[in-house]
A and B are shown apart, each in its own frame.
Chain A
Amino acid sequence: MTMRSIIWKELRERPTAMIASLLAIILSVTALVAIRNVTIFSEKEVAGKLDKLGANVLILPKNVTLQDYYSADMHSETIPEEHVAELALSGLTGVEAISPKLCVPTIIDGRKVILTGILPQSEVQKMASWQGGMLFKKHAGCKAKINVVDEKGDAPEALAERRALQELGENEVILGADYAAANGLAPGDSLELLGERFSVLTTLPAAGTVDDARIFAHLHTVQRLTKSGEVVNIIEVVGCCEDVANGLVAEMQTILPDTKIVTIANVVETQVSINRMMTNLSYLFLAILIAVGGASMASASFANVIERRREIGTLMALGATPRFVTQLFLAKAVLLGLAGGISGYIVGSVLALFLGPYFADVSVLPIPSLALVATGTAILVTLVASYYPARQAANLDPCLCFKEV
């Protein structure tokens, strides 16, 4: 008899114990896979929302709500532009980019357009590097962003993707795709705007947003042409997520008490709390898998060793080594772990397809890498649970076993 035939025979003859252990493993793996699957897709959804927003902290005038800002994409309330320098000079840890904006609706050649003033990052970044005593300090949150000269990132076209621009002259404009197409304008052309001539630095690719109909110009030019004064409508801040979650907003609020500071956490608060709950649940089910699956497997293995003492004794009397007996029990454990892991992954993935839209409002697809994690964890748990019973079986004395008979 080979090891394989002995294991098959054993599983066939004692199906109840095998099914009980297998079920415990399958159920735990199913729950783990389903929850993890939904969590991963839900986190991707949050990341997508973050990407769309560009910044994760918005500094607004006190009376403006986030809904006002998003519904009309602009509002008439303003805050002083000097808040930008106050933030940049404060040396706050975790502030990666500061982008002020002033949106002024205007009519050019009989067409309504939104003239948007933006401040080139070069004018903000230099202030951030003036902190003599603050340089090289340790950053406990996420890795501090570096800002090296970069051809691609500094190109004007990067505005569409990064929502910030490195350089922009006071007599240059960037056109949204729709505005450029409607007026037949291309980079290098010149354009008259509120009585002054500007050269088109670049045109942005169509984004399907209100940005397509905008004209972007230097903030100070827009302030001067529209006689708005030294003000902005909003300051978008890209902050290190860990710092944003750990007090950066409170520090900003101390520096700028007359503003309203809104974080992305407020926008995706519900989804983030669901994600947090599901992550905790997945840890709980991992613990259940280890405790219930492991305990069930261990007790079944112990019972198996006790029940099969005579057979083990006979095997050893026939020449089976303790190593062979240990391998026999461990191989059975691996088989159960493998079956439990794969079945649990399949059932868990199917369950996630239904639970995702219901619980987290996200569409979910199976994640192949979870199969490896689930199977690996299940095998590890069954192996650890069976190791001690297997060693006990290997240490049985054949003579004592026969004596009992």
Chain B
Amino acid sequence: MLTLSESDSNKRNGITLLIVFAITASFVTVGNAEEVQRVASLSKVETSRAAASKQNKYTFIMFWKNEDAATKAMWNSLQQNLSGKKDTTTFVAVNTNDPAEANLVKEYGVSRAPMPLTLALAPNGAITGSFVKQINAEYIDQSFVSPAKSRCMLTLQSRKMVLLCVSATAKSEMPKGVQNFKAIPCYRDVVEVVTLSAAESAEASFLKELEVPRQNNYTTVVFMAPPGVMVGKYTESVTQEQLIAELKKAGKSCGVDGCKHCK
């Protein structure tokens, strides 16, 4: 009897496992199918951009209308300066009149922009540079930004504010004032907290640009608002009231007379 019961139990477990596996597999299959469908609907350039993003590469997209001298010069310049950086960059050209790339042209809203126009895209999708009619090695170099800067730029390009916390060590806690500000209902969805350690060498140039000394032994909070305005820099003792007051002072904001629920 005991043996039979063990065998029943094993059977039941096996069936349960089979059902769970089948359900999981179906979800994965449906998910994959959706992904396959999405990828299949992507244009050539969109696919190239997605692949570059996966490989942590920058994408330079040159939009053009006519094959004129400026377009040829810009393309030549891109080839000269980026051919040797194939492991970190990829570059493509998009004719704005090409129906296959209509979605991409619409996404960036460049149908009426002066041409040729090159946009530099960080792996996270942030546009880190835009160059009209001409481009050179110096401009291209300026497009490569640190990971924290590209994250800040992406957030600002989504019309959201950034509270950048530059901590002295990697283990520092997020300042209380920042946590409280982020918890306010009307700011929760329009502010993103970005943290970085001052010791990260990749961020040295960004910190220099923000004029935040790397040797500070406390957390510095940098408050930024779209399109690229630095609202202020504070020490870790900054309070939520102070941040709200600074935001109000900086201009029209959710806290002034915007959000009804924040009055």
Contacts and interface: CB of A to CB of B under 8 A. Distances in A.
Interface string A52-79: 0000000000000000000000000000
Contacts of B190: 148-149
B231 interface: yes
Interface in A106-156: 123, 125-136, 139, 143-153
Contacts of B229: 136, 139, 144-146
Nearest to A125: B227
Contacts of B226: 125, 129, 146-148
| A86, A132, A153 — most chain B CB neighbours (10 Å) | A132
Interface string A84-104: 111001000000000000000
Given A143-B250, A146-B225, A147-B226, A130 B159 contact: no
Given A89-B113, A148-B160, A129 B254 contact: no
A144 B157 CA distance: 16
B120 interface: yes
B250 A146 contact: yes
Contacts of A84: 112
Centre residue among B157, B227, B247, B258 by max chain A CB count within 10 A: B227
A45 interface: no
B251 A132 contact: no
Contacts of B114: 82, 85-86, 89
A81 interface: yes
A151 B251 CA distance: 15
B128 interface: yes
Given A89-B130, A136-B209, A146 B253 contact: yes
B252 interface: yes
B159 A148 contact: yes
A258 to B, nearest CB: 13
B251 A145 contact: yes
> Which of B114, B228, B231, B259 is the most central at the interface, judged by chain A CB atoms within 10 Å of its CB?
B228
Interface string B137-155: 0000011010000000100
Nearest to B222: A136
A149 B160 contact: yes
Contacts of A172: none
Nearest to B144: A132
A189 B227 CA distance: 35
Contacts of B93: none
Contact of A150 (B112, B224, B258): B258
A157 interface: no
B149 to A, nearest CB: 8
Contacts of A123: 109
Given A82-B112, A123-B109, A149 B159 contact: yes
Contacts of B258: 150-153
A364 B194 CA distance: 53
Contacts of B156: 129, 135
Interface of B: 108-114, 117, 119-120, 127-130, 132, 142-143, 145, 153, 156-157, 159-161, 189-190, 209-210, 224-231, 247, 249-254, 257-260
30 contacts: A82-B114, A84-B112, A125-B159, A126-B109, A129-B226, A130-B128, A130-B157, A132-B120, A132-B127, A132-B143, A133-B129, A136-B228, A143-B250, A146-B161, A146-B231, A147-B159, A147-B225, A147-B226, A148-B190, A148-B226, A148-B254, A149-B189, A150-B252, A150-B253, A150-B258, A150-B259, A151-B254, A151-B260, A153-B252, A220-B111
